[in-house]
Structure 1
Amino acid sequence: MSDQLRPRASLRTAVVWEVLKDALERRVKATGREALDVLDTGGGTGNFAVPVARLGHRVTVVDPSPNALFALERRAEEAGVADRVRGVQGDILGLFEVVDRVGYDAVLCHGVLEYVDDPAEGVRNAVEALRPAGALSLLGAGLGGAVLARALAGHFAEARQALADPTGRWGDGDPVPRRFTADQLTGLVDDAGIEVGAVHGVRVFADLVPGVLVDTEPGATEELLRLEAAVAELPAFHAVATQLHVLGEKRA
């Protein structure tokens, strides 16, 4: 079954995938080329790279994990897009040791900035890899979603800690090194030369709804997906989203 068809995977990726597909379609029309060059930084096993390749685009995945890149290769072969997916070991802070500058029509930077020492440098490198007017898709962990989740779990001190901590961590056991507000992410991309087109809240409700309800209630998954799509662009819900997605275009 395709990742895009699995209920759990859909709840995690549906909003970003629909936005990304639209952005790639716009780049196709703008460039006049059917196949784009897409860079997926931290793309791992190909959750987005393989579906993008299925659209006919050429995708380069940069990831530090050789195991992830091996899984990516196998996944691309199974999907019939091995000729359009290339995996390269590396990371976003050393990006131009493995890929060219100004070589891509779109760059995906999903779940990367949380784990790098210098998020601003990471964004600058992602933007420098773009051709003029290229599209940047940036996905980062949201501060508000973590605060809400800790509070709803009864961990009130940890929720308060996340609010006070400069990196948005709720304690030593927090597996996420850094979280962001929407203003922080848009500030990073703006400073790097990106014109912000849209901001989306991702997994606003999906991580709060009991899994048994989604799995057993008829039609629950589809309705939850519709609800997530309906609130994604509403700023009032960005403050409680588990993840934040920023889509923008490189300034000329």
Structure 2
Amino acid sequence: MVWEVVRTALERRVAELDQPVLDVLDTGGGTGNFAVPVAKLGHRVTVVDPSPDALFALERRAAEAGVTELVRAVQGDTQTLPELITPDSVDAVLCHGVLEVVDDPAESLGHLAATLRKGGLVSLLAANRNGAVLARALAGHFEEARTVLGAPDGRWGAGDPMPRRFTTEELHGLARAAGLRVESVHGVRVFADLVPGVLVDTEPGAMEALLKLEEAAAAEPAFHAVATQLHLLAALD
């Protein structure tokens, strides 16, 4: 679902600018799960990631896909972004699974927005606090569910592997503070993390049916609260 939203948004931006090649920044893009498919569409992609191992894997994947000339790997993070990327030089930014782990989400998103040209796009994917409440409760961890509900960082305790989670309202607020206008919100993994894996693995056609259900529910606001992740598409005014 996230890929379809990103692909469609890039196609729209190409049409708006009347240019076939966009400059895309993928922060925390790691091994290129999104960067390489974006490059295969013909766009130039710069991946900024703190892990040299991930960047090495990215370069290998780009070579295998035949898009080496379109993918640039840069070691760094959102804090060093102003030193790495020229302001007003990017048409789209991918920020997936980054705001959860940075020291200052507002500052990081501000640095990302500063790289955008006017009208540039941001694809923002982040962990959903309310989805974690439901998941912990269904697992029988009721105290942890209540902790997530009230904790400022959306964590259920010291053993929680996720450094931070967000509500839809919090992500909207961060986007506005960075000068971004939210165009759409989708829930990601609304049902997938709640359905028993054995059911999906053993029932004929269950996986395909689950994917279709996820696609149908993703854009429905009523289901955003229970999704594992939230995906926002925003633009720089």
TM-score by length of 2: 0.98
Q: Is 1:117 matched with 2:106?
A: no
Q: 1:140 aligns with which of 126, 130, 136?
A: 126
Q: Which runs of 4+ in 1 moved over 4 A?
A: none
CA distance in structure 2 between the aligned counterparts of 1:63 and 1:185, rounded to whole angstroms: 22
Task: Determine the structure 1 residue equivalent to 2:206.
Answer: 220
Check if 1:162 corresponds to 2:162: no
Cα distance in 2 between the residues matched to 1:223 and 1:105: 35
Alpha-carbon deviations, 1:33-73, whole Å to 9, x = none? 11110000000001110111111111000000001001101
Find the residue that maps to 2:212 and give its secondary structure.
helix
Aligned partners of 2:156 and 2:130: how far apart in 1? 11
- Which residue does 1:249 correspond to in 2? 235
The structural deviation recorded for 1:132 is 0.5
- CA distance in structure 2 between the partners assigned to 1:70 and 1:211 by the alignment: 33
The AA in structure 2 aligned to 1:64 is P
**Out of 19, 22, 25, which is 2:11 matched to?**
25
CA RMSD of aligned residues (A): 0.9
Range moving further from structure 2, 214-223 or 166-175: 214-223
State how 1:1-252 maps to structure 2 within 5 Å: 15-251=1-237
Cα distance in structure 1, aligned partners of 2:202 and 2:135: 23
* Number of aligned residues: 237
Q: Provide the rounded CA distance (Å) in 2 between the counterparts of 1:86 and 1:210.
A: 40
Please list the CA deviations of residues 104-131 of structure 1 after superposition, one character each: whole Å capped at 9, or x if unmatched.
1100010000001100011111111110
CA distance in 1, matches of 2:64, 2:204: 31
Give how far 1:135 is off. 0.6
Q: How far is the alpha carbon of 1:212 from its aligned partner?
A: 2.2
Unmatched runs of 5 consecutive residues or more in structure 1: 1-14
Change (3 A) 1:167 1:69: same
SS at match of 1:87: strand
Tell me which residue corresponds to 1:9.
none
**In structure 1, how many angstroms separate the alpha carbons of the residues matched to 2:89 and 2:114?**
9
- Partner SS state of residue 169, structure 2: helix
Q: Aligned partners of 1:85 and 1:197: how far apart in 2?
A: 27
SS at 2:100 equivalent: helix
Q: What is the deviation of 1:214?
A: 2.0
Q: Letter of the 1:119 partner, please give it.
A: P
Equivalent position SS for 1:71: helix
User: How many angstroms does 1:218 deviate by?
Assistant: 2.0
**5+ residue gaps, structure 2:** none
